[in-house]
């Protein structure tokens, strides 16, 4: 992802669109909390991924976790 | 929170369409790179494991008829541990569905839409799936049922003209390395089969629960049949060169030339794949949204659908340079833990609970029938 | 016709809560006026007290100007409305002169009201009121005035001899001016008699209607050529001529405060689900408007999803179509002033059927049905497919065709999407203009539009000839859809699909088609899923959607929804016995 500014603008637009679409459905405070606890990390992750595409992710820690078990069971 | 009613047949069609989705395109490569010419045995050897997984889920549903895995795991493991395990399970669902999305985006960019940004391809797909999921469980299960004839006829349209190119000698020598190789292949197929566990989110809404087990077994059987046919056709036509191609099914479609007019029918493959991947992603997205809403006790799962889909798009790109590792053994362990391990653990826990709390009965929800 | 018992339509419009006349603008405005309307007459004092209690300090504010939308009528209007309501609420008085005065006040500036005062021979004084043009004056003269003035009542001042004297059979009695004015407005003649506290209402309506002719939008080659007209009396007669049974029920509903449109819910008792009738009645009774002029406006109020482009009630102008649907257990809504009948519940497949299918032979009709469905698909996906293949998937075309198209597109400055949009929009504009053309110019413009513009555009290098071909085929195939509302919907959804095709190619078409499919799957018409025999798959009902089974095989009626079952509509034992012997 090279053109940072366009990408950030597009992602922000999409995020705002999502919020507008869902705003009606967020009636009580618990739903709001759940929604934003998914939305805000998602949004920040999106922006971060545009700026630093090589952010280490879940794959990085999953492979070493299962590697010994894999070697034990199967060696192909 | 969800008051839809579905039938066992619809859930079965949904499950096998979803599981067949990703396997159709990439499974021949993955399995044949390990197994060579005995590739046709691997689906047959994977069939019992599929039966086991489905049986576990249905049995658990018989004990807790109106509850999904998220709900009865909280009941069985206690609240704090249950919520933790559920969150990891939901992360597993979102994670695997994100990788399906990634495979799909890669396929589209590699074969058709070269210059479209991957974000556009992925978001358009996930928005359609979010639309399906937000419309309710009835739409999620009716959708594959409605499109099943289309999918099957398009697949047949790719197979029928290829029949004349079948060369059965490609399968010789049979079982040259013994049964070890097909077993390895069957193990590789475990990248796809544990997705049958997502069925547990739909079983509480089934109205005719009496036939659920037979329909579930039927869906595993049909999945095996389709994968078997695909393996046979692909290996019979392309032969030992199968592991070289990333998408052997596409190669089949490209070969078709009927009267020089119906050529280059890979667009048909693309249409089939889009429909089937939508089914798979909505299968996973609905499970994740419903599970998260039930785990945290929310009244409705609908507001959670769009944030989860955003996270799926992000996860499909986070530190993943190519999706080859999804078929690696580590990931298969990951799949098997949540596909067989978790339901088996829950089933043992519930049987233990039943044994030890037999004197004061009536607290647990018991089904009226047993398999 | 029974008089409108609907309480809401009895009151004139008063906008927001009517206050009593004492306080012109006040603080106690309630949201809905209808309920307070009915109570206003009975409890003016209670309201006066409450209004005066709340607005004791707002008496000083002038009533004239308030910023924003004026929801309450200005006081002068309020006075007029109150005056009207007061007049309408009066009962028929004993003295004739009072009644005449009330009528004259009510119909103050109406030049076409005729109030004819006369004396019954050897009897009391009387007055006859009617509206010139709505009532048939010949009937009035020969059947009301002539007997009363020439034969009379032989001295009696009671009602019965007068009733016996007048030789019109359709008669009602009215006790207050609300009913009297309603009846006069429909065209009845009202006889007021001195000393009798009820008015006699005679039905002398002068029917001014269009003659029955074939509807232009739904023509058949073989079959009846009758169409509904604007009078509800004629329309219900057309239905009665086909269903000679007292089981054909017609429930009256009156919609609109000023139009008081007479609408009728027709159904066949014993075949139609009573819950469906109740649901329709409930939805109609929730309509509280000034006026309702056409059934399409009623449709907007009663349908499940007004924002969908797809019609959820089937509209037709043919009585044979309505009859066929009534016999299948659906209900129909006919309104005065509109030749279009609405049939509920409707499914997509029922709107793709033409009455011609049933008047032709079954195999031929099946083939035509498949043709129709194929061409509907071409209408929706034709231009999009062209755009997608030319922009993204050129390898799908055979080489010779590809070369020809490339040659013809070489000079075109626009990409395929822009060219397609241009042509399609132009064609839609031509079609719209063609509806409004005067007859004399119509044929000339169609020739101009088709040949000259198309050919000229090609030679000017704006569009290519394959594009004109595609647009022409699309246009012709859109005429194969029998139902006009569904045809418009299908033509309309072409454009978003074209845009998606231009953006993402064949993938875009698949996605857009799936979005539309999902929308259709969630749509319901009076509880029946829109894609009904296909989507919640009901194999027993497939025999009328994809194929047209021959009539002796269509043994069961469709089951729409709910637990009301009356499936068997024919018994073919005798027929089969004859055929086999």
| DSSP conformational letter for C205 | B
Residues C480, C380: contact at Cβ < 8 Å?
no
Residue contact B139–C521, C-beta within 8 A? yes
Asked if residue C163 and residue C121 are part of one domain, the reply reads: yes
Which three-class secondary structure string do you get for C416-466? Answer: HHHHHHHHHHHHHHHHHHHHHCCHHHHHHHHHHHHHHHHHHHHHHCCCCHH
- B257 at interface of C, judged by CB pairs closer than 8 A: no
pLDDT recorded at residue C60: 42
Pick C506's closest partner by Cβ from B132, B145, B267.
B267
Look at residues B148, B275, B137, B107 and name the one whose alpha carbon lies nearest to residue B198. Answer: B137
Q: Is residue B369 part of a domain?
A: no
Judged by 3 or more CB pairs under 8 A, whether C touches A is no
Q: Would you say residue C555 has pLDDT above 50?
A: yes
pLDDT recorded at residue C2: 44
How far apart CA C107 and CA C465 sit, in angstroms, is: 66
How far apart CA C162 and CA C153 sit, in angstroms, is: 6
The whole-number average pLDDT for the span C121-145 is 88
Q: Which residues of C308-324 are buried (b: 16+ CB within 10 A; e: fewer)?
A: eebbbbbbbbbbbbbbb
Number of domains, chain C? 4
Look at residues C59, C1, C80, C463 and name the one whose alpha carbon lies nearest to residue C261. Answer: C1
- B326 at interface of A, judged by CB pairs closer than 8 A: no
| DSSP conformational letter for C223 | S
Residue contact B128–C395, C-beta within 8 A? no
DSSP SS3 for C304: coil
Model confidence at A2, pLDDT cuts 50, 70, 90, reads low
The whole-number average pLDDT for the span C140-152 is 87
Q: Which residues of C424-436 are buried (b: 16+ CB within 10 A; e: fewer)?
A: bebbbebeeeeee
- B112 at interface of A, judged by CB pairs closer than 8 A: no
Q: Is residue B346 part of a domain?
A: yes
Pick B274's closest partner by Cβ from C398, C510, C522.
C510
User: CATH number, domain at B54?
Assistant: 1.20.1740.10
How far apart CA B42 and CA B181 sit, in angstroms, is: 9
Please list, in sequence order, all residues whose beta carbon lies within 8 angstroms of the beta carbon of residue C475, skipping any fewer than 6 positions away.
Answer: C427, C431
Helices and strands (H and E) in chain B: how many? 13, 2
The whole-number average pLDDT for the span C80-88 is 86
Q: Which residues of B192-214 are buried (b: 16+ CB within 10 A; e: fewer)?
A: bbbbbbbbbbbbbbbeebeebbe
What confidence tens digit (pLDDT) does each residue in B248-303 have?
A: 888 887 776 666 666 667 777 788 889 999 999 999 999 999 999 888 888 888 88
Q: Which residues of B touch A66 (CB under 8 A)?
A: 329-331, 333-334
When the pLDDT of each residue in chain C is averaged and rounded to a whole number, the result is 81
Asked if residue C152 and residue C80 are part of one domain, the reply reads: no
Look at residues C396, C397, A6, C391 and name the one whose alpha carbon lies nearest to residue B113. Answer: C391
How far apart CA A45 and CA C228 sit, in angstroms, is: 63
- B-C CB pairs within 8 A amount to 69
Asked if residue C412 and residue C518 are part of one domain, the reply reads: yes
Q: Is residue C415 part of a domain?
A: yes
Q: Is residue B365 part of a domain?
A: no
Candidates C400, C499, C508, C510: best to mutate against B (most CBs of B within 10 A) is C510
Pick C511's closest partner by Cβ from B128, B143, B146.
B128
The residue among C497, C513, C529 that closes a domain is C529
- At C578, list the tokens: 């004859």
Look at residues C513, C519, C515 and name the one whose alpha carbon lies nearest to residue C531. Answer: C519
How far apart CA C48 and CA B190 sit, in angstroms, is: 80
| Tokens 């859109």 sit on residue | C478
- Of the candidate ranges B247-256, C58-67, C96-105, C238-247, the one whose mean pLDDT is the lowest: C58-67
DSSP SS3 for C163: helix
For residue C253, give the H/E element and its range: strand C248-255
Per the structure, the complete domain to which residue B20 belongs is given by 8-356
The whole-number average pLDDT for the span C337-366 is 88
Looking at C190-261, list the stretches that DSSP marks H as alpha helix, in order from N- to C-terminal side.
232-240
pLDDT recorded at residue C229: 92
- At B208, list the tokens: 């005719």
Q: Is residue B20 part of a domain?
A: yes
The share of chain B scoring above pLDDT 70, in percent, equals: 91
When the pLDDT of each residue in chain B is averaged and rounded to a whole number, the result is 83
What confidence tens digit (pLDDT) does each residue in C512-536 have?
A: 999 999 999 999 888 888 988 887 7
How far apart CA B86 and CA B92 sit, in angstroms, is: 9
Looking at A1-76, list the stretches that DSSP marks H as alpha helix, in order from N- to C-terminal side.
4-22, 29-51, 58-73
What confidence tens digit (pLDDT) does each residue in A8-41 have?
A: 888 889 889 888 888 887 778 888 888 888 888 8
Number of domains, chain A? 1
Please give the residue of chain A at the shortest CA–CA distance from B304.
A35
pLDDT recorded at residue A26: 78
| DSSP conformational letter for C18 | P
Asked if residue C332 and residue C385 are part of one domain, the reply reads: no
How far apart CA B331 and CA B30 sit, in angstroms, is: 14
pLDDT recorded at residue C67: 65
How far apart CA C80 and CA C63 sit, in angstroms, is: 16
Model confidence at B319, pLDDT cuts 50, 70, 90, reads low
**Structure-derived torsion over alpha carbons of residues C242, C248, C251, C252, reported in degrees to the nearest 10:** 20
How far apart CA B117 and CA C446 sit, in angstroms, is: 45
How far apart CA C322 and CA C313 sit, in angstroms, is: 12
What confidence tens digit (pLDDT) does each residue in C467-489 have?
A: 888 888 888 888 888 888 898 89
The whole-number average pLDDT for the span C398-418 is 87
| Prediction pTM value | 0.84
How far apart CA C307 and CA C324 sit, in angstroms, is: 29
Q: Which residues of B touch A45 (CB under 8 A)?
A: 311, 314, 318
Per the structure, the complete domain to which residue A49 belongs is given by 4-73
Model confidence at C80, pLDDT cuts 50, 70, 90, reads confident
Please list, in sequence order, all residues whose beta carbon lies within 8 angstroms of the beta carbon of residue B340, skipping any fewer than 6 positions away.
Answer: B49, B52, B53, B56, B194
Q: Is residue C400 part of a domain?
A: yes
DSSP SS3 for B52: helix
Quote the minimal CA–CA distance from A75 to chain B in Å.
8
The whole-number average pLDDT for the span C221-240 is 90
Residue contact B333–A57, C-beta within 8 A? no
Judged by 3 or more CB pairs under 8 A, whether B touches A is yes
Looking at C57-143, list the stretches that DSSP marks H as alpha helix, in order from N- to C-terminal side.
75-88, 96-106, 137-139
pLDDT recorded at residue C41: 37
Q: Could you give the C-alpha distances from C420 to B112, C433, C451, C477, C501, in angstroms and in order?
A: 22, 20, 18, 17, 11
pLDDT recorded at residue C43: 36
The whole-number average pLDDT for the span C500-505 is 90
Q: Would you say residue B18 has pLDDT above 70?
A: yes
How far apart CA B219 and CA B232 sit, in angstroms, is: 20
How far apart CA C92 and CA C98 sit, in angstroms, is: 9
Please give the residue of chain A at the shortest CA–CA distance from B300.
A31
- At C338, list the tokens: 């509109």
What confidence tens digit (pLDDT) does each residue in C246-298 have?
A: 999 999 988 888 888 889 999 998 888 888 999 999 999 888 888 888 899 99
Number of domains, chain B? 1
- Of the candidate ranges B66-75, B172-181, C474-483, the one whose mean pLDDT is the lowest: B172-181
Residue contact B267–C510, C-beta within 8 A? no
Q: Could you give the C-alpha distances from C517 to B273, C344, C507, C511, in angstroms and in order?
A: 17, 22, 15, 10
pLDDT recorded at residue B371: 30
Asked if residue C490 and residue C373 are part of one domain, the reply reads: yes
- B275 at interface of C, judged by CB pairs closer than 8 A: yes
Quote the minimal CA–CA distance from C529 to chain B in Å.
11
Model confidence at C332, pLDDT cuts 50, 70, 90, reads very high
Model confidence at C443, pLDDT cuts 50, 70, 90, reads low
Per the structure, the complete domain to which residue C335 belongs is given by 232-346
The residue among C311, C346, C381 that closes a domain is C346
């Amino acid at each position: 992802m090279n053109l940072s500014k366009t990408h950030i603008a597009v992602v922000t637009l999409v995020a705002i669109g999502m919020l507008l679409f869902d705003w009606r459905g967020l009636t009580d405070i618990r739903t709001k909390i759940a929604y934003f606890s998914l939305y805000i990390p998602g949004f920040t992750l999106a922006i971060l991924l545009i700026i630093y595409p090589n952010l280490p992710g879940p794959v990085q820690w999953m492979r070493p976790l299962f590697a010994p078990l894999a070697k034990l069971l199967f060696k192909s | 929170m969800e008051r839809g009613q579905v039938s066992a047949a619809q859930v079965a069609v949904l499950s096998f369409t979803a599981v067949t989705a990703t396997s159709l395109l990439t499974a021949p490569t993955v399995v044949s790179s390990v197994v060579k010419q005995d590739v046709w045995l691997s689906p047959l050897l994977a069939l019992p494991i599929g039966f086991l997984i489905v049986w576990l889920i249905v049995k658990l549903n018989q004990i807790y008829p109106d509850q999904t895995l998220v709900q009865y795991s909280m009941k069985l493991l206690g609240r704090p541990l249950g919520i933790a395990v559920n969150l990891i399970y939901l992360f597993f669902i979102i994670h695997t569905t994100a990788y399906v999305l990634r495979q799909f985006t890669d396929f589209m960019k590699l074969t058709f839409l070269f210059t479209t940004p991957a974000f556009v391809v992925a978001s358009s797909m996930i928005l359609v799936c979010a639309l399906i999921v937000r419309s309710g469980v009835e739409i999620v299960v009716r959708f594959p049922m409605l499109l099943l004839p289309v999918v099957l006829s398009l697949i047949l349209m790719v197979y029928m003209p290829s029949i004349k190119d079948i060369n059965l000698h490609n399968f010789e020598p049979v079982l040259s390395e013994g049964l070890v190789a097909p077993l390895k292949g069957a193990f590789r197929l475990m990248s796809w089969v544990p997705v049958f566990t997502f069925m547990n989110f739909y079983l509480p809404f089934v109205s005719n629960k009496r036939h659920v087990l037979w329909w579930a077994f039927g869906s595993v059987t049909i999945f095996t049949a389709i994968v078997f046919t695909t393996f046979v056709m692909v290996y019979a036509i392309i032969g030992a060169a199968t592991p070289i191609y990333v998408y052997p099914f596409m190669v089949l479609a490209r070969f078709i030339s009927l009267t020089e007019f119906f050529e280059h029918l890979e667009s048909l493959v693309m249409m089939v794949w889009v429909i089937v991947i939508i089914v798979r992603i909505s299968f996973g997205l609905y499970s994740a949204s419903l599970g998260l809403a039930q785990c945290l006790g929310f009244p409705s799962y609908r507001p959670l659908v769009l944030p989860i889909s955003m996270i799926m798009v992000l996860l499909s790109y986070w530190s993943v340079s190519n999706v080859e590792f999804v078929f690696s053994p580590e990931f298969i362990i990951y799949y098997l833990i949540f596909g067989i391990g978790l339901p088996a653990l829950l089933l043992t826990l519930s049987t233990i609970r039943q044994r030890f709390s037999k004197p004061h009965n009536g607290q647990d929800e018991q089904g009226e029938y047993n398999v | 016709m029974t008089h409108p018992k609907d309480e809401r339509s009895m009151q004139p419009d008063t906008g927001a809560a009517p206050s009593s006349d004492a306080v012109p603008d006040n603080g106690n405005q309630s949201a809905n006026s209808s309920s307070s309307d009915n109570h206003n007459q009975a409890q003016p004092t209670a309201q006066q007290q409450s209004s005066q209690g709340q607005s004791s300090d707002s008496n000083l504010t002038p009533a004239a100007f308030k910023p924003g939308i004026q929801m309450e009528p200005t006081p002068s209007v309020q006075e007029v409305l109150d005056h009207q309501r007061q007049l309408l609420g009066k009962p028929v008085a004993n003295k004739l002169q009072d009644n005449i005065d009330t009528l004259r006040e009510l119909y103050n500036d109406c030049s076409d009201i005729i109030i004819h005062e006369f004396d019954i021979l050897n009897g009391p004084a009387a007055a006859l009121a009617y509206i010139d043009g709505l009532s048939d004056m010949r009937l009035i003269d020969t059947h009301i005035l002539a007997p009363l003035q020439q034969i009379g009542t032989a001295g009696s001042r009671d009602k019965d001899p007068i009733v016996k004297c007048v030789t019109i059979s359709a008669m009602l009695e009215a006790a207050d001016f609300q009913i009297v004015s309603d009846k006069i407005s429909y065209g009845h003649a009202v006889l007021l008699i001195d000393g009798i506290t009820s008015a006699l209402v005679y039905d002398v309506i002068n029917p001014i209607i269009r003659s029955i002719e074939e509807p232009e939008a739904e023509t058949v080659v073989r079959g009846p050529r009758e169409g509904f007209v604007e009078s509800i009396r004629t329309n219900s007669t057309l239905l009665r001529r086909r269903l000679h049974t007292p089981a054909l029920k017609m429930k009256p509903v009156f919609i609109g405060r000023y139009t008081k449109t007479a609408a009728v819910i027709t159904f066949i008792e014993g075949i139609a689900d009573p819950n469906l009738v109740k649901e329709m009645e409930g939805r109609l009774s929730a309509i509280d408007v000034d006026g309702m002029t056409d059934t399409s406006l009623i449709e907007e109020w009663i349908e499940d999803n007004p924002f969908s482009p797809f019609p959820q009630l089937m509209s037709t102008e043919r009585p044979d179509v309505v009859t066929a649907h009534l016999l299948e257990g659906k209900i129909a809504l006919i309104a005065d002033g509109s030749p279009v009948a609405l049939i509920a519940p409707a499914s997509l497949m029922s709107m793709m059927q033409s009455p011609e299918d049933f008047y032709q032979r079954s195999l031929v009709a099946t083939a035509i049905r498949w043709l129709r469905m194929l061409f509907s698909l071409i209408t929706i996906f034709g231009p999009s497919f062209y755009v997608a293949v030319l922009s993204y998937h050129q390898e799908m075309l055979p080489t010779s065709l590809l070369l020809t198209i490339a040659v013809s597109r070489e000079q075109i400055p626009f990409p395929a999407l822009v060219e397609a949009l241009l042509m399609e929009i132009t064609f839609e504009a031509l079609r719209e203009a063609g509806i409004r053309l005067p007859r004399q110019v119509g044929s000339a413009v169609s020739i101009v539009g088709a040949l000259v513009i198309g050919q000229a555009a090609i030679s000017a290098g704006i569009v290519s000839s394959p594009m004109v071909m595609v647009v022409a085929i699309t246009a012709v195939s859109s005429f194969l859809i029998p139902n006009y509302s569904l045809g418009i919907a299908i033509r309309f959804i072409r454009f978003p699909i074209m845009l998606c095709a231009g953006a993402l190619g064949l993938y875009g078409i698949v996605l857009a088609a799936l979005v539309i499919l999902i929308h259709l799957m969630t749509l319901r018409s009076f509880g029946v899923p829109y894609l009904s025999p296909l989507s919640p798959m009901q194999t027993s009902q497939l025999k009328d959607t994809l194929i047209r089974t021959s009539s002796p095989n269509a043994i069961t009626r469709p089951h729409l929804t709910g637990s009301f079952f009356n499936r068997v509509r024919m018994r073919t034992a005798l027929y089969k016995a004859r055929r086999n012997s």
